[in-house]
Structure 1
Amino acid sequence: MSPHKQSANHSQNHPGNFMLKEIYDQPQILSEIIDHNTRSNLNQFKLLGSELSTERLNSFKNVLILGMGSSLHAGMVAKLWFERIARIKSESDNSSEFKDRNPIINKNTLAISISQSGETADTLSAIETAKEMGATVLNISNSANSTSNKLADYNLPINAGEERSIAATKSFTCSLLQLYMLAVEMGNARNSLGQPELKKIVDELKELPIMLDDLLKMTSQIEELAEQYYGYKNFLYLGRNLNYPIALEGALKLKEVSYIHAEGYPSGELKHGPLALIDSQMATAVIMPKDSMFVKNLNIVKEINSKGGKVISITSNQAEAVSNKDNNVIYIPDTSELISPLLTCIPLQLFSYFTATKLGRNIDKPRNLSKSVTVE
């Protein structure tokens, strides 16, 4: 039996809604996207065909990424990827704020809009603003016939398939994947990546679906953590650098499906106010894979524990994390710092799902929410 089929079988143990199934869809879908985009050249990506040539990708002076909700969080990760990999000045912005701030963009700007539905009103307005100011707009959407597709100059499909749960799971990871490959493609076009580095990136990405399958084998442990924590009324989610947006996404998922108050912060912000909230009634999730930020995050965990706070750590550094005995730990497979967000988001999705299940929530259709926000 293939790893992907094993994952599907795991999700059948919890029937009755779409969110868990869509979480378990992710290894197979991401595998298909990676295979499709590396088929012609095993060591390169070619997402946009002849639409955006190497010369055109190399001509942009800056990148602007626009979105709302989960799409905004994906864009925040991508901003860092474009800067690190393609070495191009990048920024991300909330679509609803962008159009009202008199932004400085021009014909040298590649504006990337992200909208799962392609119908998000604020993002459509932001696309129009970006085009009026001369930017080239690349739209990333999960709907081929959406309004955003028609407004944009170029389109890159998310290719997540139908997502029926209101809370974004597979559309989020597929957006991340497409943005990561686009950053790599631009980095190649701009000669900021050497061929050995490019090959290493592609080879690692081909292992991603297997790592996701391994991660999903921890479902039972994450369900046990949800049993332990579902009674808490407040959560903090902390992360640094590439995983700060994942902290925001984790907090959003918990709010959406469980109705528990949750906030995401950069880990370094803890001592600038949020530390006052820490006590035995405050739960904190710290996203701390084995990367350049690990030691700083480990110190944050110790600080929270010293104040009586309860911590869940998402980490890939087992030896050092286990030494912190007050900690509940979720291990992700060891991987590079660059693609860690594609792994760290998965346990947070599962934790939100199982917490909402314990609370008896309507997981696929949370109160007051809709899949597509079509009004400003």
Structure 2
Amino acid sequence: TAVQLALTQVVGAYAIAVLDRNNPDQIVAARKGSPLVVGIGEDEYFLGSDATPIIEFTNRVTYIGDEEIVTIRRGEALKIRTITNIEKTPRIQKLEMTLSQLEKGGYPHFMLKEIFEQPHTLSDCMRGRVNVEGNNITLAGFIDNREKFLNARRIIITACGTSWHAAQIGMYAIEEYARIPVEVEYSSEFRYRKPVIHKDDIVIAISQSGETADTLAAVELAKNAGAFIFGICNVVGSSIPRNTHSGCYTHVGPEIGVASTKAFTAQVAVLTMLAILIGKEKGTVSREEYLNLIRELNLIPEKVAEILKKSGQIEQYAKTFTYAGNCIYLGRGYNFPVALEGALKLKEISYIHAEGYPAAEMKHGPIALVSHEMPVIVIATQSDTYEKVTSNIQEIKARKGRIISVVTEGDQVVRGLSDFSVEVPETLPCLTPLLSVIPLQLLAYHIAVVKGCDVDQPRNLAKSVTVE
């Protein structure tokens, strides 16, 4: 009762556990805005902000909702009440993750393990969604809300960090295949700028952890405006799945490394499947194109595995570029968000300043930075803009810039202009990000290792950003 009364006066977000020295067999815990999970073991309970550290002891958990208070007494069942004293029934879930998923499995870092898991995690993400015959995509979150998607005036995707880059790729795919206008918003800006939201808008919220504070606040804002909310998340039972109308899990297993890798590619895969499916149902994608897209999608895990074999080659390149204080990443079309993501990875774990730009924007300012001391990483896979990107590379070379390129297998032109290059298998433009991002993840990883940085726990960063 004392905790209930006190929390009516508390302002802001919190996740707290309260103990009474005169009653050592009881803990009272509560949350608002910050995550709180209770693990239920044999004659024992665990409190945490995430289920990951609890899995060592139990796979049964219950997630506490906003403004809920859980009372834990030794030898008794959990009791949950709201701040206003309404009793709730605990919803106990069985975690899908296993302890082996939380171990490095022989890799020196979790990040490298998670990069190398991507052929497997992409297959898991598509399993049950792309049928075994390879001629149909099924997303339950879409099927249950088919009319809302087909009649949507606009789609707004809100996310932060790496998830925002995945959202940008999703925007390209949805507009190309579903022909629905899409806006991509930083959750932190969306929640404060009085956005215009209509009842026939769809808001897609993306978060690996499902606990990102700004994205949760954006979801609440959009819900209050009457929009339909669709969540894309990795953690089953976390706050975003509980606060959205429908959605899709990415099913990549726990991601321990702070710098997201496998969660990013799974988010891109889900958004791409959603775009293709909406397009097929709307008739903006022909049957032939639909089957071709699915066929190529099924080949992606195997093509990612091919790229991962080049890790040793990329490690050698990394040794050459550890001197760099700044880097520029360039891409066009679907590869522009990949350039942003590559730059973010380098910043996060190696502490080298890096920026991503659309390749054509170089001449509008950033080209002034180019010199022999400035590495430029260019994603120049085969696409409609290949010749334009080649021209941008020639401009950089003329100013003595050093080029690392990501090119399609068999490319001779860009390879000839580059100081270093990494080949990726050919695929459809909309699926290229799933391949072109892999060398950038490996490059950032190997540079950080050579520099002696803490790859899994980079300074000043947290895995789940549960505060504004």
C-alpha displacement at 1:264, in angstroms?
0.8
Q: In the alignment, which residue of structure 2 is the partner of 1:234?
A: 326
1:304 is matched with which residue? 396
> Where does residue 221 of structure 1 map in the other structure?
313
Q: Does 1:141 align with 2:233?
A: yes
CA contact (8 A) 2:342 2:440 kept: yes
Deviation string 1:176-222 (CA, Å, 9 cap, x unpaired) is 10111011111112111111110000011111111111111111111
Q: Could you tell me which of 137, 140, 147 is aligned with 1:48?
A: 140
Structure 1 counterpart of 2:406, one-letter code: I
- Of 62, 66, 81, the residue aligned with 2:154 is 62
- 1:318 and 2:390 aligned: no
TM-superposition CA deviations, 1:9-33 (whole Å, max 9, x none): xx97x83210001000000111232
2:375 is matched with 283
SS class of match (1:72) = helix
Q: CA separation of 1:171/1:304 partners in 2, compared to 1, >3 Å: closer, same or farther?
A: same
Deviation per residue, 1:220-278 (Å, 9 max, x gap): 11111101111111100111111111111000000011011111111111011101101
Which residue number in structure 2 is paired with residue 186 of structure 1?
Answer: 278
Query: Hey, what's the Cα distance between the residues in 1 that align with 2:313 and 2:133?
Result: 39
Asked if 2 retains the 8 angstrom alpha-carbon contact of 1:55 and 1:189, the reply is no
Quick one: which amino acid aligns to residue 250 of structure 1? G
C-alpha distance after superposition, 1:139-163 (max 9, x if no partner): 1111111111111111210111111
Give the equivalent residue in structure 1 for 2:298. Answer: 206
Alignment match, 2:55: none
Matched with 1:269 is 361
Structure 2 distance, partners of 1:181, 1:149, is 19
Matched residue SS, 2:442 = helix
Once residues 141 and 459 of structure 2 are traced to their aligned partners in structure 1, the CA distance between those partners, rounded to angstroms, is 41
Amino acid paired to 2:355: E
In structure 2, how many angstroms separate the alpha carbons of the residues matched to 1:277 and 1:86? Answer: 39
Q: Judge which range, 360-369 or 29-38, deviates more.
A: 29-38
Counterpart in 2 of 1:6? none
Distance in 2 (alpha carbons) for counterparts of 1:272 and 1:93:
24
1:49 deviates by 5.5
Write out the 4+ residue segments of structure 1 that deviate beyond 6 Å after TM superposition. none
Q: How many residues align?
A: 364
2:455 is matched with: 363
Q: Which has the higher contact order (CA 8 A, sep 6+)?
A: 1
What residue number does 2:288 align with?
A: 196
Which stretch has the larger CA shift, 44-53 or 151-160? 44-53
- Is the contact between residue 57 and residue 189 of structure 1 (CA under 8 Å) also seen in structure 2? no
C-alpha contact (below 8 Å) 2:405/2:415 kept by paired residues: no
Q: Which has the higher helix share?
A: 1
Q: Which amino acid aligns with 1:226?
A: A
State the alpha-carbon separation in 2 of the partners of residues 157 and 15 from structure 1.
26
Shift of 1:353: 0.4
**What is the identity, as a one-letter code, of the residue corresponding to 2:390?**
L
Q: What corresponds to 2:121 in structure 1?
A: 29
Does residue 246 of structure 2 align to residue 151 of structure 1?
Answer: no
Distance in 1 (CA, whole Å) between partners of 2:295 and 2:167 is: 24
Superimposed CA distance per residue, residues 326-356 of structure 1 (whole angstroms, 9 cap, x where no aligned partner): 5311111011111101111100000000000
Given that residues 31 and 209 in structure 1 are in contact (C-alpha distance below 8 angstroms), is that contact kept between their aligned partners in structure 2? yes
Answer whether contact 2:343 2:355 (CA < 8 A) is retained.
yes
Amino acid at match of 1:103: P
- Give the equivalent residue in structure 1 for 2:8: none
Alignment gaps of 5+ in structure 2: 1-103
1:124 partner letter = L
Alpha-carbon RMSD across the aligned residues, in angstroms, is: 1.5
Question: What is the DSSP-based 3-state SS (H/G/I as helix, E as strand, rest coil) of the residue aligned with 1:315?
Answer: strand
> 1:39 Cα deviation (Å)?
2.5
Q: Is the 8 A contact 1:57 1:190 kept in 2?
A: no
Matched residues in 2 for 1:113 and 1:57: separation?
15
Cα distance, 1:280 vs. partner? 1.1
1:129 correspondence with 2:201: no
Whole-angstrom distance in 2 between the partners of 1:56 and 1:112:
13
**Preserved CA contact (<8 Å) 2:124 2:252:** no
Equivalents in 1 of 2:192, 2:310: separation in Å?
A: 44
Structure with more strand by fraction: 2
The superposition leaves residues 277-311 of structure 1 with CA deviations (integer Å, 9 ceiling, x where unpaired) of: 01111111011110011111111111111101111
- Indicate the SS of the match to 1:144: coil
Q: 1:335 aligns with which of 427, 435, 444?
A: 427
Which residue is equivalent to 1:248?
Answer: 340
Q: Find the aligned partners of 1:129 and 1:40 in 2 and give their Cα distance.
A: 39
Taking a change above 3 Å as real, the CA distance of residues 102 and 49 of structure 1, as seen in their structure-2 partners, is: closer
Partner of 2:83: none
